[in-house]
């Protein structure tokens, strides 16, 4: 028989304070990274010789802000309503590490390993750990996540191959632009899988994934033919798929986000 103990109010406050500090620090580092939040904004306006990097820069910005910084920041603002974001703070750095390793750039993954460890610490110390669902995935959301993962995995595979084959003369070789786009594709997959768990706040995690793919598609439509850009057909299909995905996530007959119903062992 398993026994659990109820954390004291002091322990809960300590956990929340620790999670808030960790989340704030990780979010600040992610947004301040080069490229980071500046790339998400400035990438749209690159000109001259740098214009060929527009889609890549926007992609970097999406990884560091939408996929990583936002889930971490949510732990400082409203951790009890952002249990799903706590898992996203683990999943997105992990996806980025996989993309870098597959691109032959495992040595460049150190910052993301640190972010991954911070994410794990947040999950372990989370003040609303009792909100975590252990009853499995929402089948419709998981089915959509798996279906959407197919073209994204193909895209990630192509991009990692390009990164491994890139020469020093390739303007996209360093910084590793191809690996960045592979990481973006895998981060989107990771977020949709986390959202399918339907932890507290899962709708916002799903919305982040949809926002990332729509932004990537929009940048592609505005920069057709550039390296990293989706084709016009693929971009339109991605926007349509993201719209249908959000309709499923926010469907009126969907059960509400689960509230904490039990506590994990202290």
pLDDT, tens digit, for every residue of 123-147? 998 887 655 444 468 899 999 999 9
Q: Is the pLDDT of residue 4 over 80?
A: no
Stated pTM of the model: 0.89
* pLDDT recorded at residue 260: 44
Domain extents in the chain: 10-249
The mean predicted confidence, pLDDT, of the chain is 88
Residues with Cβ within 8 Å of 177's Cβ and at least 6 positions away in sequence, in order, are 53, 56, 163, 227, 228
- Band of the pLDDT at 7, cuts 50, 70, 90? low
Q: Is the pLDDT of residue 255 over 70?
A: no
261 or 179, greater pLDDT: 179
Q: Is the pLDDT of residue 254 over 90?
A: no
- Band of the pLDDT at 265, cuts 50, 70, 90? very low
Lowest mean pLDDT among 3-7, 64-68, 106-110: 3-7
What distance in Å separates the CA atoms of residue 180 and residue 26, rounded to the nearest whole number? Answer: 19
What distance in Å separates the CA atoms of residue 118 and residue 115, rounded to the nearest whole number? Answer: 5
Residue where the block lists tokens 């995905």: 245
Task: List, as one string, the DSSP characters of 174-240.
Answer: TTTHHHHHHHHHHHHHHHHHHHHT--TTHHHHHHHHHHHHHHHHHHHHHTTTSTTPPPHHHHHHHHH
User: Which contacts of 174-180 are long-range, i.e. CB under 8 A and separated by 24 or more positions?
Assistant: 175/35, 175/60, 176/100, 176/103, 176/105, 176/108, 177/53, 177/56, 177/227, 177/228, 178/103, 178/228, 179/99, 179/100, 179/103, 179/105, 179/108, 180/56, 180/59, 180/60, 180/63, 180/99
3 or 77, greater pLDDT: 77
pLDDT, tens digit, for every residue of 182-229? 999 999 999 999 999 988 899 999 999 999 999 999 999 999 999 999
* pLDDT recorded at residue 266: 35
* pLDDT recorded at residue 234: 96
* pLDDT recorded at residue 34: 63
Q: Using CB atoms within 10 A of its CB, is residue 81 exposed (0-12), middle (13-18) or buried (19+)?
A: middle
Say what percent of the chain tops pLDDT 90. 67
Q: In the predicted model, what is the mean pLDDT of residues 179-183? A: 96
pLDDT, tens digit, for every residue of 58-97? 999 999 999 999 999 999 888 888 899 999 999 999 999 9
């Amino acid at each position: 028989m398993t026994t659990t103990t109820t954390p004291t109010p002091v322990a809960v406050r300590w956990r929340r304070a620790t999670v808030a500090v960790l989340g704030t620090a990780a979010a600040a580092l992610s947004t301040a990274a080069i490229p980071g939040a500046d790339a998400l904004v400035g990438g749209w306006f690159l000109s001259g010789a740098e214009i060929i990097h527009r889609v890549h820069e926007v992609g970097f910005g999406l990884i560091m802000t939408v996929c990583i910084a936002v889930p971490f920041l949510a732990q400082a603002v409203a951790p009890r309503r952002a249990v799903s974001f706590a898992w996203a703070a683990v999943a997105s750095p992990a996806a980025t590490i996989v993309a870098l390793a597959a691109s032959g750039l495992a040595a460049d993954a150190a910052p993301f390993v640190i972010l991954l460890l911070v994410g794990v610490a947040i999950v372990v110390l989370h003040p609303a750990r009792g909100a975590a669902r252990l009853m499995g995935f929402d089948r419709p959301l998981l089915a959509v996540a798996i279906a959407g993962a197919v073209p994204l995995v193909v895209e990630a595979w192509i991009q990692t191959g390009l990164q491994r084959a890139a020469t020093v003369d390739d303007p996209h070789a360093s910084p590793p632009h191809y690996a960045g786009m592979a990481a973006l594709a895998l981060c989107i997959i990771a977020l949709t899988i986390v959202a399918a768990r339907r932890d507290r706040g899962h709708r916002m995690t799903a919305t982040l994934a949809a926002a990332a793919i729509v932004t990537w598609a929009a940048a592609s439509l505005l920069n057709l033919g550039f390296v990293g850009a989706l084709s016009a057909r693929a971009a339109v299909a991605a926007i349509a798929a993201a719209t249908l995905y959000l309709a499923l996530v926010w469907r009126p007959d969907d059960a509400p986000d689960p509230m904490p119903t039990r506590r994990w062992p202290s």
